[in-house]
Amino acid sequence: MDELIRNIGLLYTTELGIERIKRNLGLRTDDVVAWCRQSILSTENIQRRGKNWYVYTSKCVITVNAHNYTIITAHKD
């Protein structure tokens, strides 16, 4: 958990990732990465399993690659 928080500034996603996350969560924001950063900083339930971090918020689960900090996807919980 501390590693992800320390490297929060490295988070990014692809154009396809932005569209996927917006669609999955019904987000209207254009800054999906900032939305994910804020969500990650607002929760304490972060687990690392294998190559990914799983961030559990009250609204969704965000999946982040642990090696390159790519936000892979997010789904409603």
62 vs 44, which has greater pLDDT?
Answer: 62
The whole-number pLDDT of residue 9 equals 97
Structural domain spans, the chain: 2-76
Q: How far apart are CA 24 and CA 49, in angstroms?
A: 22
The reported pTM is 0.94
Reported as a single tens digit per residue, the pLDDT across 8-49 is: 999 999 999 999 999 999 999 989 999 999 999 999 999 999
Q: How many CA atoms lie within 13 A of 32 on its CB side?
A: 23
pLDDT category at 77 given cuts 50, 70, 90 is confident
